[in-house]
Structure 1
Amino acid sequence: MANIEKLKFPALKITGANYIAWTTDVELYFESQELSETLKLENLSPPKDKAKAIIFLRKHLDENVTHDYAHIKDPAELWQALKARFHNQREITLPHALEDWKNLRFQDFEKVEEYNSAMLRIVSQLKYCGKPITEAEMLEKTYLTFHKEHCVLQEMYRNCGYKRFSELIVTLILAEKNNELLLKNHNSRPTGAKAFHEVNATDVKNPERGSQTYRGRGRRFNRGRGRSFNPQSRKSYTWVRPDQSSKGKESQGRNAQKRESICYRCGSKGHWAHVCRTPEHLCKLYKESQKGKGKEVNLTEHFEGTSYLEASDFINDVDETAHADN
């Protein structure tokens, strides 16, 4: 891999597929280094230049090709040997290039740039094989291979009177980019719909709200440090401390019990005493059953925490209840 990175251009393959490009690169490089005379037969170049040329050629050859010509020390002799071996690439490449030119169609490519690359590659191969293609032939090839649905566009481009293939390609690429932008804007939202505003547009446009946010530690959307909103009560919108959240739930449960409509006359739920229709003897039985519960209720109301009772308290309550019954 280190040797590949130091190469000036790709090495000559053993099949000779890149012989055309390789010879062109070698000739241009030797001209820049003033070593072109070393490739001519019976040249009088100094031994130092010949050594540089032969080292460069061997470095840019496939390993198998290098082994075949390892005994040659003259760059001109090596150059002629490679030419005799791979110069027949013109006869090999010509049938394939003609077939590619025959099957080349503009409608077979999704992108204009891909079609342009294929066209220039085939034209270059045909030119190397001695079959150059003119600009008019390239333009006509493009016009005749448009898709049948684009026959109107084909006539429009033909009437523009382009003289060079590159001018037509630039126009086609520009039209392709504009069509992509048109489809992107069309699919962004339904026809007739307005553009969505940004999420933070309201916060930016409201200076009062923006000035109140992030003012001090822990005061965003709060009225003091350590306070939180109680989401259970949607109607009151009161602020409750975190440590009082559990007490708030208990008090809410008690208030819910108090708000229940309980009749103190019969003990039933769903109506008040002034509309109670329960028979009198049933109401009397209910009141007698509630007589022994008053003391317990008073204890829970006046004492917080645990209350300690003695056995005598229960005995007295039982005696009083029995006496009242007699």
Structure 2
Amino acid sequence: MKKLTETIVIGNKSPPEHKAEAIIFLKKHLDENVTHDYASIEDPTELWQTLKERFDNQKEVNLPHALEEWKNLRFQDFQKVEEYNSAVLRIASLLKYCGNPVSEAEMMNKTYNTFHKQLHFLPEIYRKMGYTRFSELMVALMLAEKNNELLIKNHNSRPTGAKAFPEVNATAIENSERRTQFNRGRGRRFNNKRGKTYNPKWKGSNKWVRSEQVSKGKETQEDTTRRETRCYDVVRRTLVPHCRTPPHLCKLYQESTKAKLKK
């Protein structure tokens, strides 16, 4: 790097290879908007002096604008403390670059003197806290801001004196989990490990049937007889209390029906 810095000194006697490296380095780091303005310059000393004449006056150009910003800066114009903190640090950095630095005391006094008039009592409170650095004051103001936001949020959540409503979603989820656990328990309780299943439609029955042994569409003579007997019993229990047929005819019908079943 030393050999490159020597090439931009007026009257230097650097070898051509060092000058070539220096001119390549300078043009590589130029902004693309001004690269074409200096494309014809091949001497690093000439390029450096030209750039210095053009851009070395930024301090004088930016100083009036920075001083105006600092003069009009007010804490009450910002809704968030963080926004005000960023603005102060940016302007202070610009003033320092322009040769007019701002002290910690000046930044804190700027804050104290630009509070809103309705909060006139707060500057005195913070002054008595004895802060010596601007960052300490900002931390205290940010903490107070967060606490105030939390206070307002809690106040607006429901009317004063009203009780908090239970969380409906949480209650529904809890009840759903309980029902799921209950149903799982019932499933384990009424499930047989040997492949047998219980048919809940057969109320009052404790019979267990192997599902693989039930054949659809096939019925033996014995099963048919049992089914007809059950149907006859159901018809008899249902119709007899409401039947108006003479008793002797009912008896003859029952005897004939039994005879047919025996055959």
TM-score range, shorter chain: 0.5 to 0.7
Of residues 68, 80, 83, the one that matches 2:49 is 80
> Structure 1: which amino acid aligns with 2:118?
E
Equivalent residue, structure 2, for 1:187: 156
* Pairing of 1:101-180 with structure 2 (within 5 A): 101-180=70-149
Q: Give the C-alpha shift of residue 72 in structure 1.
A: 2.6
* Pairing of 1:1-326 with structure 2 (within 5 A): 37=5, 40-41=8-9, 51=20, 53-198=22-167, 199-201=169-171, 204=174, 209-213=179-183
Taking structure 1 as reference, are residues 127 and 85 closer, same or farther at Cα in structure 2, changes over 3 Å only? Answer: same
How far, CA to CA, are the matches of 1:136 and 1:123 in structure 2?
A: 12
Which runs of 5 or more structure 2 residues have no equivalent in the other structure?
188-199, 202-263
The answer to whether the 8 Å contact 1:37/1:45 transfers is no
**Structure 1 runs, 4 residues or longer, greater than 4 Å off:** 33-36, 42-53, 205-208, 213-216
The answer to whether the 8 Å contact 2:66/2:95 transfers is yes
The answer to whether the 8 Å contact 1:203/1:209 transfers is no
The answer to whether the 8 Å contact 1:38/1:75 transfers is no
Is the partner of 2:40 in helix, strand or coil?
Answer: coil
TM superposition score normalised by structure 2 = 0.59
Which runs of 5 or more structure 1 residues have no equivalent in the other structure?
1-32, 217-223, 226-326
Question: Deviation digits for residues 51-100 of structure 1, max 9, x if unmatched?
Answer: 55544432443334111211233445433321211122222211111111
Q: Tell which has more relative contact order, 1 or 2 (C-alpha 8 A, sep 6+).
A: 2
How far, CA to CA, are the matches of 1:101 and 1:125 in structure 2?
A: 10
Taking structure 1 as reference, are residues 145 and 200 closer, same or farther at Cα in structure 2, changes over 3 Å only? Answer: closer
Alignment size in residue pairs: 187
TM superposition score normalised by structure 1 = 0.49
Is the partner of 1:195 in helix, strand or coil?
Answer: coil
Taking structure 1 as reference, are residues 91 and 160 closer, same or farther at Cα in structure 2, changes over 3 Å only? Answer: same
The answer to whether the 8 Å contact 1:100/1:122 transfers is yes
Question: Deviation digits for residues 222-261 of structure 1, max 9, x if unmatched?
Answer: xx79xxxxxxxxxxxxxxxxxxxxxxxxxxxxxxxxxxxx
How far, CA to CA, are the matches of 1:149 and 1:35 in structure 2?
A: 63
Question: Deviation digits for residues 23-58 of structure 1, max 9, x if unmatched?
Answer: xxxxxxxxxx77873675166777667555544432
Equivalent residue, structure 1, for 2:242: none
Higher helix share: 2
